[in-house]
Structure 1
Amino acid sequence: MSPIKNGPVNHEIDINTISGFFIEYLGFNPIEELRIIDWLVLPQQVLLSIANGRIFHDGLERMKEIVAKLEYYPRDLWLYQLSNQWERIAQEEAFMGRCGQVGDELGSRIVATRLISDIMGLCFLMGRQYAPYIKWFGTAFSKLKSAEVLTPLFTKILDADTWQERQDHLVKAYGYIAKLHNDLDITDSLTAEVSQFHNRPFKINHAEKFAEAIHAIIQDDEVKQLPKYLGGINQYVDSTDVLSYTNKFRRFWSMYQ
């Protein structure tokens, strides 16, 4: 936007019906019943904007109903994504040390950063909070209760000069998120202790045990039929051009068919 001295002014104000607005913004009408696939292709930043967005007037008293419906994922969809987030950690938790062992210090740091990001995403899910897009990701994380313990550990991981030192701090982070999981009391208590990756000198949390235990308690048959470790769109798409535009993120329906 830029100031003008004369001529028409674009106030960036649109007039729409409630249904019309949401069909344009979400790609479907949330007044009607939401399908599982509708939930999964909605970026968390979009859901967050509805759940936490300001409503200045609701004369028809319809917005309150919609906001309540989209406040957070239904339980089994929450479990589905929670399971997948643990699996993301399981898939890479040994690689930070492996990169360092072969002298790839840059690769080790990159993997450590990815693990930090996945742990942060896990904390949003465990706290039943939608995560914002990347610009506000760290700011929003700092407001989670878990940030008090994890932020100092993340800083030490990022500042570490060797993969062994990096690993020591990651181990503490793994122990803490294991405790957070057990505090949820949704599965039998799982050990927070780390152990070696096969016979290699890499200490890992074996995050797959959390993923499997959580997936096993999903009750909804339709959710059970979803691709096991695909998750919601934020767990496999990292493109601003996709996550910011309805006509693009809606195309990911096909991932679940």
Structure 2
Amino acid sequence: MTAAFVPGLDLAEAFYREVLAPLAGEPHAAALLGEGSEVLGFDTERSTDHEWGPRAQVFVPAGRVEAVRARIGAGLPAEFRGHPTAWFSLASGGVDHHVEVTTAAEWLTAALGRPPDGLDTAAWLALPQQRLLHVTAGRVFRDDLGELTAARAALAWYPDDVWRWMIAVQWHQVGTTEPLRARCRELGDARGAALLTARLAGLAMELAFLLERRYRPYDKWFGTAFARLDAAAVVGPLLDAALAAPAAAAAGPDDPLLAALAELGRRHDAAAVSVPVGPAAGDFDVGINDAVRPYRVSNAGAYARATLDAVADPALRALLPVGALDQLTHGDDTLVTFSGWPGRLAEAYRAELATAAASR
């Protein structure tokens, strides 16, 4: 008989309390963190077809790992609430249980791709938000040692300067994309306008995450997570309207994308990201040769400039607005989990920041 579906976080907590806690038998921390839809709270019955079942992490001091690992391995039942406790493991390449017993420091370093302590600005910029969710989402069941709780608190959100710089970049990306959509419309390029409308909708959603200080997950769960933001109730329907008619003729005062950006501008001001700017819309100022084109766009550039002015670190303020890793490129599973690119990008950011600092 197939076991009834329960959310993976709830299954993991019950598994820990009824099975793992008695087996651990000494001070430890325990949680369900890392990869997996259930860590984000988005799993459904469909999720159970791979890498899903009773699992958890158990963290102990370095000298106790082997003893606790052996005790748990020997004491696990074959099933828990109708679910097998051992199934195919990508990590081992065979059937195995999915209880990780390790130190908090070792697990955190593997999850982030670098040690969690002492992150400098460059390291923050190069951390995929999905990796940060691996550490800060999920659920902690117990923490006798305190190390895990402290690390999750330290990684809960970006330092203020990094946060503001990323918001400035996000507004910059909005501002450089808006007139391209209008130009496509003018030329009758419906396909190009549709693509740019979709890009602007995505940029607006990413901005909403930043304004609400929430890490965004990778694309599979991006829309689902956005729907849980405070901004989604107002911004979501406006983006839906824009996406439903992406190649509509002129972008007039009732353009839903402009309305969505205005709402985000008001939320920006309310969050005190920078000095208040106030949303506005007008013709597109090219910025060269006094050229002004009759494309109605938001004042994204004003928000970008005001936010950049609020960044205290002069080197970060002087950095070209290429964005943090998730703004610079796509954060798919290959990049996040299987490549060394985040570490290499950290070195590139570090070099750029050093150059910016030296030029002042």
TM-score w.r.t. length of structure 1: 0.90
Distance in 2, Cα, partners of 1:231 & 1:82:
9
* Contact in 1 for aligned 2:274/2:307 (Cα 8 Å): yes
The 5 A counterparts of 1:202-221 are: 202-221=295-314
The 5 A counterparts of 1:89-168 are: 89-160=174-245, 162-164=247-249, 168=255
Where 2:150 maps in the other structure, the secondary structure is: helix
Q: 2:114 aligns with which of 28, 33, 44?
A: 28
* Per-residue deviation, residues 200-239 of structure 1 (Å, max 9, x unmatched): 23110131111111011111345335x2302210001115
The 5 A counterparts of 1:161-176 are: 162-164=247-249, 168-176=255-263
Where 1:214 maps in the other structure, the secondary structure is: helix
Distance in 2, Cα, partners of 1:221 & 1:177:
26
- Cα displacement (A) at 1:33: 1.7
Where 1:182 maps in the other structure, the secondary structure is: helix
Which structure's CA Rg is the greater one?
2
Distance in 2, Cα, partners of 1:216 & 1:104:
37
* Per-residue deviation, residues 169-189 of structure 1 (Å, max 9, x unmatched): 112112211111121233332
Query: Which range moves more in the overlay, 68-77 or 36-45?
Result: 36-45
Distance 1:78 1:70, change over 3 A: same
1:194 and 2:281 are equivalent in the alignment = yes
Unaligned runs of 5+ in 2: 1-49, 52-86, 89-93, 286-291, 352-360
The AA in structure 2 aligned to 1:244 is T
Where 1:94 maps in the other structure, the secondary structure is: helix
* Per-residue deviation, residues 55-109 of structure 1 (Å, max 9, x unmatched): 2332322101100100101111111111111111011111111112112101100
Select the structure with the greater relative contact order (CA < 8 A; seq sep ≥ 6). 1
Match of 2:272 in 1: 185
Q: Which of the two has greater strand per residue? A: 2
* Contact in 2 for aligned 1:84/1:231 (Cα 8 Å): yes
Distance in 1, Cα, partners of 2:235 & 2:109:
39
The AA in structure 1 aligned to 2:106 is G
Distance in 1, Cα, partners of 2:214 & 2:320:
22
* Per-residue deviation, residues 142-201 of structure 1 (Å, max 9, x unmatched): 111111111111111111164336661112112211111121233332131200114323
Distance in 1, Cα, partners of 2:293 & 2:139:
52
* Contact in 2 for aligned 1:79/1:218 (Cα 8 Å): yes
1:18 and 2:110 are equivalent in the alignment = no
Distance in 2, Cα, partners of 1:97 & 1:11:
55
- Cα displacement (A) at 1:50: 1.3
* Contact in 1 for aligned 2:111/2:134 (Cα 8 Å): no
Where 2:295 maps in the other structure, the secondary structure is: strand
Match of 1:238 in 2: 330
Percent identity at matched positions?
29
* Contact in 2 for aligned 1:83/1:211 (Cα 8 Å): yes
Distance in 2, Cα, partners of 1:133 & 1:66:
22
Match of 2:168 in 1: 83
Distance in 1, Cα, partners of 2:205 & 2:297:
17
